[in-house]
Structure 1
């Protein structure tokens, strides 16, 4: 279910709950709305509000932490791409096939994760979820094979080949780290329970609120704000999918550096 649809459901549930509370209040006997009843209901709802606030805070911290970690991993990945390309440049012409394979691998990652057909063009890219891609794995294997195929003839070339292989292994680990940790799944049952809690809270608000335009507009705005919060949480849970995503700037910079003439 998309984050926009979930946010719409949250808004309708919360605003509908407030309106339902107002509707029920007008049909209850006066003694059911006495001050003692209001105090008892507010006491119970206050506990639910506290727990809901805690849950929302934990969800936000979890997805935001994962989003920031993924962003750092992408930046680190781009850094290792640049340093590996620099090592291959230092090796000289025999390493050109490996550099070409690395360039193709980088182009593919940009196209697969951010759908950037021209990585150096201006404009905001459309983003799709980064999933394990067999072609990219084959492409990266081609980079490693090209490095291993180098036949160093001097001590310097031996050191450069060893350095390139080490950075290649680090890139492989980082790539799978980004893939495996790029999505923080928010369990649907977890979201459903939270929506039920928030709906009950809004029903209690509407139960004792005066029926006028100001109250209705206030409840509508509050429902929009909470729906927006849920929307942001779900959007950040997928760093390579949706409206909020990890910036490809570091990868574009890496590709630009790799495309510079030797």
Structure 2
């Protein structure tokens, strides 16, 4: 289900819950709205509010931590690409096919992950990011195969080939790390339970709130804020999809460095 649709459902559930609470309050006898009753309800709801706040905080910290970790790994991946390209430049003209394969891999990764089809000509272009794990769909084998096919002729080239192979292994490991980090799944049942708790909380707010424009508007804005919070959490759980995604700037910079003339 799209994240924006879930956020709208959260907003409607919370706001309708508050309105239901107001409607129920008008049908209750006066003794049911006594101060003692309000204190008892507020005490119980306060515990639910505390647990809900804790869960929202943990969810935010979890997805934010994973998002930041993925962003750092992408930046490090771009750094590895630049250093590997520099090693191949030092190797000499014989490594030009490997450099072309490396640039092609980077270009395809940008296109499949961020929808940037021609970053060299239009570095600010954006397209629709792919779903699932686009990094796993881009082959890195062409680069490693071309790298292993190199035949060093001097001690320096032997050293440079070994360095390049070591860097390519680091790239492969880091690439699979990014793939594993690309999605922090938020269980649907977990989200549904949290929405039910928040709806119950808003029903209690409406139960004892005065029926006027100020209280209705305030409850509506609060419901919208919580819907927005859920939307941000769900968006950040997929670092390469949606409106909030890892920046491709480091990868674009890496490709730009590869495209510079030797």
TM-score under structure 1 normalisation? Answer: 0.97
Match status 1:33 vs 2:33: yes
| 1:43-68 deviation per Cα after TM superposition (whole angstroms, max 9, x unaligned) | 00000000000000000000000000
Structure 1 residues 79, 167: closer, same or farther in 2, change over 3 A?
same
Contact 1:70 1:181 in 2 (8 A): yes
2:135/2:175 contact within 8 Å kept: no
2:89 paired residue number: 89
User: Is 1:71 matched up with 2:36?
Assistant: no
Q: CA deviation at 1:129?
A: 2.9
Q: How does 1:1-262 map to 2 (within 5 A)?
A: 1-120=1-120, 121-123=122-124, 125-126=126-127, 127-129=129-131, 131=133, 136-137=138-139, 140-262=140-262
Q: 1:199 is paired with a residue of what secondary structure?
A: helix
Q: Where do 5+ consecutive residues of structure 1 fail to align?
A: none
* 1:86-140 CA distance string (max 9 Å, x none): 0000000110111111011000000000010111314351322352567622xx1
Q: 2:7·2:230 contact (CA, 8 Å) conserved in 1?
A: yes
Structure 1 stretches of 4+ with a deviation exceeding 2 A read 126-130, 132-135
Which sections of structure 2, spanning at least 5 residues, go unmatched? none
**Would you say how many aligned residue pairs link Structure 1 and Structure 2?**
260
CA distance in 2, matches of 1:124, 1:260: 20
- In the aligned structure 2, how far is the partner of 1:4 from the partner of 1:25? 32
Contact persistence 1:18–1:203 (CA under 8 A): yes
Alpha-carbon deviation of 1:196? 0.4
CA RMSD of aligned residues (A): 1.1
**What is the rounded CA distance, in whole Å, between the counterparts of 1:89 and 1:122 in structure 2?**
24
Provide the rounded CA distance (Å) in 2 between the counterparts of 1:192 and 1:130: 23
